[in-house]
Each structure stands twice: as structure tokens, then as C-alpha cells.
């Protein structure tokens, strides 16, 4: 059996989850890939951080070039998060002839065309299923099973933190500040929740969805974006009275004249809509295609193991195509 070697950039929460997915389901992954799969080098400064996995110390490197220049490494998994240095490192990896898998929506959305071009120019693959919807298969079905469609609409609940907060405000009648604090304590919101609650994370994901579904790339900074910080329990009560829920929606639609409308903002969704059943930190992407009609993909939009599941799914697809 041939051996596939992976260089991993970042062993934080998501990196550790991905490592764990490979350890836990190694047999299934290697059978599906038709190859032995090893993470042989890891770029990470914080070697001694407590993790419940057992990583041999000699796998850690302090310079990403050690990975890019290693002729035995076939695939680079980028899980650093944030735009830089992640985007530059991904570009370096692609230009060094490595296939790249990433879960990093911020780096990807801000550099979509540049990274896609680098992959194409160097004859390698860039996959990023985990970047939208975490563990939920979204991007792959949209670009394979559903390719016989013209897509007309996207309504996405693509940020778990804000859905958790709005759902709890709705079910328990609590004010925003109190629920945010609870979400932070439970690990559903970061200490600095700005990127989530201001809708920035959702805009990154909408940018990626639009690029793939409408072949129309818009930089996330150019997507009109409003977060949930102004939503009061009175707003939610008023919506409820009309049979509606308030959800943070990443929305895009192709108008009859071909113009594309897009924005991220809190919207009223009728309770019986499939998106109305998306509770807690779950995500869902509801799309409309001109021949298939309405579809929804639902599941865990974040978390180390679900994200690791999607990352390793991308790795399997790359190995199968090699």
C-alpha cells in the first residue's frame, strides 16, 4: 500500500480534532483512500499545550518551509485560522506542488481567486469542505451532485455561536448579554466574540458559497453585514407573535434580471420553515436550484471532530484522485 504523508499547519483545537479523527478511524480512512495516511510534520510553536493525543515530539517543526520543501509530503492541511499568515502559507504550499486542505474560511474568502489560481497553475488541488458548515457536506454536493442546476438562492445559518444565542434567547426569553455570557462559559462563544456576533464569520462563508454556486466572487468586506448585537428579547417576542423566529441569515439570490443580491443580517423565518428547526449551535444551508428545487443540509457547523471529519474527507478525495 502506498503511503501518503501530510504536513499539518496548526495543532490547536481543530488541528487536534483532525489528528484524533485520523487516529480514531484510521482503518476506515485508509481503506477509503486506498493508502496509508500519516501526519509526519506539524507546524506548531506550543508543543507542550495539554492535548489528549499522543504526538511524537520529533514531528513538530518550527519553520513551515521544512514542510513545503519535503519531497515526501504530498498534502498540507492548514488549520491555523485567521487570514495571515495562513493565506501566504497556503499559497507557498500550493506553489511547492502540495495539495492543500483547509477549514479556514477567513483566509480563503479574503484570497479566493489568488488561491484557486495558485492551485490551478501548479496542477494541485485545493479543497475546503470544512470551511462552510463545518462537518456538514455542503460544498462538495453543491459542486458535484447538483452541478446540473442553475442555483437561484442561498439562505444559510452558517454561524453556530449566533444561532446558539438567538435560539436560547427565543426558548428562554433571556436578553442578549446574559445568553452571550452563558455561551462564552460553555465554549460556544469566544472571549472576543466580535467575528461571530457581528456577522463577519457568516460573511466569509457566504463569499465562498457565492463563488462556488454563482461563479461570482465577492470579497467578504464588500458583503453588507449586520450582526445580532442589537437584537432584543422584545424583537424576538414580536417575531414570535407572528409565528416567526429571528435567525442570522447569510442570504444571496439571483434576481430575474441576473443581478445578484446578497447580505448577512438577522431575518425573520417562519417557524415551520426547515430552517426554523435549526436549534442550538447547529448550522444549515438551504439552497434553491432551478431543476432540483429546495434542499437543506443540516448538521454540526463547527467543533474539532466534525471539522476534522470534513478535513479528512477532503484528504481521502485527494488521495483517491492522485
| Residues marked as catalytic | 205
| 281 touches 168 (CB < 8 A) | no
196-213 burial, b at 16+ Cβ within 10 Å, e below that, comes to: bbbbbbbbbbbbbbbbbb
State the Cα–Cα distance between residues 76 and 114, nearest whole angstrom. 17
Binding mask 119-148 for a copy of itself (x = CB under 8 A): ----------x-----xxx--xx--xxxxx
Based on CB atoms, which residue is closest to a copy of itself, 203 or 212? 212
Residue 308 makes contact with a copy of itself by CB under 8 A: yes
Which grid cell is 121? 497553475
From the CB of 306, what's the least distance to a copy of itself, in Å? 5
Site residues for a copy of itself, 17-56, by CB under 8 A, read 20-22, 24-25, 28-29, 32
Query: Angle 112-121/200-213 helices, nearest 10 degrees?
Result: 50
Residue 298 makes contact with a copy of itself by CB under 8 A: yes
Q: Is the bond leading into 271 cis (omega within 30 degrees of zero)?
A: no
Based on CB atoms, which residue is closest to a copy of itself, 78 or 317? 317
Interstrand relation of 126-127 and 99-102 (parallel, antiparallel or unpaired): parallel
Residue 210 makes contact with a copy of itself by CB under 8 A: no
Which of these ranges, 108-116, 158-166, 249-257, 299-307, lies near a copy of itself under the rule CB under 8 A? 299-307
Which of these ranges, 39-47, 93-101, 112-120, 272-280, lies near a copy of itself under the rule CB under 8 A? 272-280
Largest interatomic CA distance in the chain: 63
Query: 169, exposed or middle or buried, with CB in 10 Å at 0-12, 13-18, 19+?
Result: buried
Q: How many residues bind a copy of itself (CB under 8 A)?
A: 52
Minimal CA–CA distance to 230: which of 265, 260, 206?
A: 265
Based on CB atoms, which residue is closest to a copy of itself, 81 or 141? 141
Give SS3 for 188: coil
Residue 1 makes contact with a copy of itself by CB under 8 A: no
Q: Which residues form the interface with a copy of itself (CB under 8 A)?
A: 20-22, 24-25, 28-29, 32, 129, 135-137, 140-141, 144-150, 272-274, 276-279, 289-300, 303, 305-306, 308-310, 312-317
Amino acid at each position: 500500500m502506498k503511503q501518503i504523508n501530510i504536513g499539518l499547519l496548526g495543532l490547536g483545537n481543530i488541528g487536534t480534532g483532525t489528528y484524533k479523527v485520523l487516529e480514531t478511524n484510521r482503518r476506515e480512512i485508509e481503506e477509503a483512500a486506498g493508502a496509508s495516511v500519516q501526519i509526519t510534520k506539524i507546524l506548531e510553536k506550543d508543543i507542550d499545550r495539554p492535548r489528549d493525543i499522543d504526538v511524537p515530539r520529533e514531528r513538530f517543526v518550527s519553520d513551515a518551509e521544512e514542510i513545503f520543501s519535503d519531497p515526501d509530503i504530498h498534502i498540507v492541511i492548514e488549520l491555523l485560522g485567521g487570514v495571515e499568515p495562513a493565506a501566504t502559507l497556503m499559497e507557498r504550499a500550493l506553489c511547492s506542488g502540495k495539495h492543500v486542505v483547509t477549514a479556514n474560511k477567513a483566509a480563503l474568502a479574503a484570497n479566493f481567486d489568488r488561491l484557486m489560481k495558485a492551485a490551478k497553475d501548479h496542477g494541485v488541488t485545493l479543497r475546503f469542505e470544512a470551511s462552510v458548515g463545518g462537518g456538514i457536506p455542503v460544498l462538495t454536493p453543491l459542486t458535484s451532485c447538483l452541478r446540473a442546476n442553475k442555483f437561484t438562492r442561498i439562505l444559510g445559518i452558517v454561524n453556530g455561536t449566533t444561532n446558539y444565542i438567538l435560539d436560547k434567547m427565543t426558548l428562554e426569553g433571556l436578553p442578549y448579554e446574559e445568553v452571550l455570557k452563558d455561551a462564552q462559559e460553555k465554549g460556544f462563544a469566544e472571549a472576543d466574540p466580535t467575528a461571530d456576533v457581528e456577522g463577519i464569520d457568516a460573511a466569509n462563508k457566504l463569499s465562498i458559497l457565492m463563488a462556488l454556486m454563482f461563479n461570482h466572487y465577492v470579497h467578504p468586506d464588500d458583503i453588507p453585514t449586520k450582526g445580532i448585537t442589537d437584537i432584543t428579547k422584545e424583537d424576538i417576542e414580536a417575531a414570535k407573535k407572528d409565528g416567526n423566529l429571528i435567525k442570522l441569515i447569510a442570504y444571496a439570490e439571483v434576481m430575474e434580471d441576473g443581478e445578484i443580491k446578497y447580505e448577512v443580517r438577522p431575518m425573520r423565518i417562519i417557524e415551520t420553515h426547515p430552517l426554523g428547526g435549526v436549534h442550538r449551535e447547529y448550522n444549515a444551508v438551504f439552497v434553491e436550484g432551478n431543476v432540483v428545487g429546495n434542499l437543506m443540509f443540516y448538521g454540526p457547523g463547527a467543533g474539532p471532530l466534525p471539522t476534522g471529519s470534513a478535513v479528512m474527507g477532503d484528504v481521502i478525495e485527494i488521495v483517491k484522485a492522485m
